């Protein structure tokens, strides 16, 4: 009877010496390309629901405008009427053109022609306010407007 030994051969050990370098490089990359939106929502923003929606993928090409009534804790300072929020401040209709032109100037020149204004309008806001905002956007030659909604699963909701 012959004796044979079962030798398991293992490959060479993988060096993990460069692993901390890779982790810090990834951490630095994500810290530089990630933006954090620090603006607090001052208006009610109960968005309407829709059955046919498209997602805007490129967040760097979006300028956001919020429209709604002031939140309950802000009613004393802002009243109860419809308000427009640009970034973290309440604005008037005539503030829209300077705001969007300023935001447009912050964008890289290569994407300025592809910028979309995303209007996040509370479902209780009157259409006239939205129409007035669109007229202001036309003055700034911004014609690509998106209305943000929630996805609805109700098939009877279609138009």
> Which element (helix H / strand E) includes 96?
helix 96-106
pLDDT in tens, 26-72: 998 888 877 766 678 889 888 888 888 888 778 888 999 999 999 88
Q: Does a structural domain hold residue 12?
A: no
Q: Is the confidence at residue 159, as pLDDT, over 50?
A: no
> Which element (helix H / strand E) includes 98?
helix 96-106
Q: Does a structural domain hold residue 101?
A: yes
Q: Does a structural domain hold residue 74?
A: yes
Surface-to-core class of residue 5, CB atoms within 10 Å of its CB (0-12 exposed, 13-18 middle, 19+ buried): exposed
Domain that holds residue 80: 49-157
Average pLDDT, the chain: 85
Q: Does a structural domain hold residue 87?
A: yes
Choice between 76 and 17, residue whose per-residue pLDDT is larger:
17
Domain count for the chain, please give it.
1
Percentage of the chain modeled with pLDDT above 70? 87
């Amino acid at each position: 009877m012959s004796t044979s030994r079962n030798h398991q051969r293992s490959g060479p050990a993988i060096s993990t010496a460069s692993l901390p370098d890779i982790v810090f490089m990834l951490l630095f990359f994500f810290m530089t390309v990630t933006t954090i939106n620090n603006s607090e929502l001052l208006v009610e923003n109960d968005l309407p629901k829709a059955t046919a929606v498209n997602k805007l993928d490129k967040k760097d090409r979006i300028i956001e405008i919020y429209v709604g009534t002031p939140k309950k804790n802000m009613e004393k300072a802002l009243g109860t009427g419809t308000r427009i929020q640009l970034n973290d401040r309440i604005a008037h209709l005539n503030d829209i053109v300077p705001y969007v032109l300023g935001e447009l100037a912050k964008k890289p020149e290569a994407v300025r022609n592809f910028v979309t204004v995303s209007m996040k309008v509370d479902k209780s806001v009157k259409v006239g306010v939205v129409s007035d905002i669109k007229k202001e956007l036309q003055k700034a030659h911004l014609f690509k407007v998106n209305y943000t909604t929630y996805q609805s699963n109700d098939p009877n909701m279609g138009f």
